[in-house]
Structure 1
C-alpha cells in the first residue's frame, strides 16, 4: 500500500464528550472495539487492522486524534504531526507530564459505544503514541479487553508509563478487582518501546500484564516512509511492520489479538 485510503466503507460521525467533539470512523456490527491510531494518524495500515477487527464481528471505532485521516504516512508530514502532538495540551509526550488528558474523552467514547453496541464490554487497542491509552481507558468500567501495542510515551523515559500516580493506583485496583488481563506487544529491539517499559508495566500490574516480545528481525523491512526514515526501528507489529504470511510472528500476534477480543467480548453462551 502506497496511496491514501478513502475510508469509504466507514461511517464518519462526530462524538461529543463533555463539550469536546472529535470525528470517529465506525464500521461493523457486534460489541465495540476502540482502535486508536498510531503516529502520524489513521494510516491505511491502521485502517487495514480496523477492517480485520470489523470482519471478526465487532463494531470498530477509530477516533481521529491527530494527522490526516486515511493519509499515507510520509516522513515530512509525519514529523510535522508528531511535533504538533508533542506540544498539544491533549497529550503528555514527555516524562513528568502524567496521564494524557485526551484519555478522558476516549473513556467517554468507550462508554457511549458500549451503550450503543451492547455486549459484555468494550475492547481498547492502543498503538505507539496511543499505546498506553488502552490501559488508561480501563478507568472506564465498560472497557474489559485492553491491548497495549508498543507504547512509546513518554518519549524521553524508557521506563515511563505516561500515568500520574493516582491513575496508576486506580488502574491497578481495577485490574485486580475485576480480574482483567492487559495484552501487550513489542519488538525486542524497539528503541521507542523498550524492555524497561514492559518491566515497569509488570511491576504495576503483576501477572495481569501479558507482555509478548517478537524478534525485531521479523519486522517488515520496507515500511512506509515515516517508519523507515523517522521511527528507524522495528516498532509497529500489526500495522507498518506487519508481514501477512502464514505463521509469521506478526500475523500470529494479529490473530492473538483478535482471539483475545473474541474471548472477552463474544463469550460462549451461558458464561
Structure 2
C-alpha cells in the first residue's frame, strides 16, 4: 500500500469528466468540501487539514492531481514533481494569467457531483499553492459557494504578478454571484511570500471589493519547515497562534456557507 496508508480512513474512487480521470479520496459526512492539494502532492499535512474539515461535519473530496498520494514532503520530491507538472500543459497553465487551467473544468464537474451526493447549501473548495486560485474559477459553477485561496501561486514568473489565473468572463461570473447570492472569498498568504506577491492580492481586493477577506500573516507566525513561509494551512501551520486561527476561520467559513 505504501504511502497511501496515510489515507487509510478514506475511500478512493476514480472520477472521469471530459476524458480526464484523476483519483479522488473521500471521507466524512455532511455537505461537501473539495480540498485541492499543493505542491508536491496530497501529502500528510494536506490530509491532516482534510481530516479536520471532515471532523467538523463535512464530507471532504481530495483529488490527487499530481505527485504520490500520502508521500511526505522532501526537497527531491518537490523538485521532481515540479518538473513533471511543468510538462502537464494540457492540464495546468503555469505561465498564463488570463484564463483558468483546463483541469478546473474537471474540478467543477467533481464539485457538481459532490453537491448532488452530499446536499447542503453548496460546496466549499480550497486550493493551495499551484491549485490556490482554482477555487475562484470553480465559482462559475453554481454548486461552489465557499471558495478559499491559500497561497495562490499561479501564474508564476510574471513581474509583479497582478494576474490571478481567471478569464474576464470567469471573473465577471464570479463577481455577479458574489453580489447576487451574498457570497464571499477568503485568501491566505504570508506577506513575505514571493510566490504570492502583493500585486496579486491587490487585484483580488480591486476586483472583489469587500467580498474578499484577506488573511495575511507574518514570517514569525509560521512553523519551521524545509521551505520559507508559504503553506498556511499545512507545512507552516502552528497549533496555536495566527496560523491556527486562520485554519479555524476557514473551517468555520465552510460550515457556515455549506450549511454543515
For Structure 1 versus Structure 2, the TM-score category normalised by the shorter chain is: over 0.9
CA contact (8 A) 1:126 1:132 kept: yes
CA contact (8 A) 2:222 2:237 kept: yes
CA contact (8 A) 2:98 2:168 kept: no
CA contact (8 A) 1:20 1:105 kept: yes
Structure 2: gaps of 5 or more residues: none
What is the aligned partner in structure 2 of residue 239 from structure 1? Answer: 234
Q: Are residues 1:266 and 2:229 paired?
A: no
Structure 1 consecutive aligned stretches of length 4 or more whose deviation exceeds 4 Å: none
Cα drift, residue 30 of structure 1: 0.3
CA contact (8 A) 1:144 1:264 kept: yes
Distance 1:208 1:84, change over 3 A: same
Cα drift, residue 177 of structure 1: 2.3
What is the aligned partner in structure 2 of residue 194 from structure 1? Answer: 197
What is the aligned partner in structure 2 of residue 16 from structure 1? Answer: 16
Q: Are residues 1:137 and 2:138 paired?
A: yes
State the distance in 2 between where 1:4 and 1:116 align: 25
Q: Are residues 1:179 and 2:182 paired?
A: yes
1:98-177 maps to which residues of 2 (within 5 A)? 98-157=99-158, 158-177=161-180
CA contact (8 A) 1:42 1:70 kept: yes
CA contact (8 A) 1:244 1:251 kept: yes
State the distance in 2 between where 1:13 and 1:76 align: 28
Cα drift, residue 174 of structure 1: 2.3
Cα drift, residue 144 of structure 1: 0.4
State the distance in 2 between where 1:28 and 1:106 align: 19
1:52-91 maps to which residues of 2 (within 5 A)? 52-88=52-88, 89-91=90-92
CA contact (8 A) 1:31 1:121 kept: yes
Distance 1:117 1:185, change over 3 A: same
Distance 1:96 1:125, change over 3 A: closer
State the distance in 2 between where 1:45 and 1:212 align: 20
* SS of residue paired to 1:6: helix
Aligned residues: 255
Q: Are residues 1:249 and 2:250 paired?
A: no
CA contact (8 A) 2:164 2:200 kept: yes
Single out whichever of 104-113 and 190-199 deviates more from structure 2. Answer: 190-199
Structure 1: gaps of 5 or more residues: none
State the distance in 1 between where 2:142 and 2:230 align: 30
For residue 211 of structure 2, the aligned residue among 197, 200, 208 is 208
Cα drift, residue 78 of structure 1: 1.3
State the distance in 1 between where 2:62 and 2:44 align: 12
* SS of residue paired to 1:84: helix
Cα drift, residue 132 of structure 1: 0.3
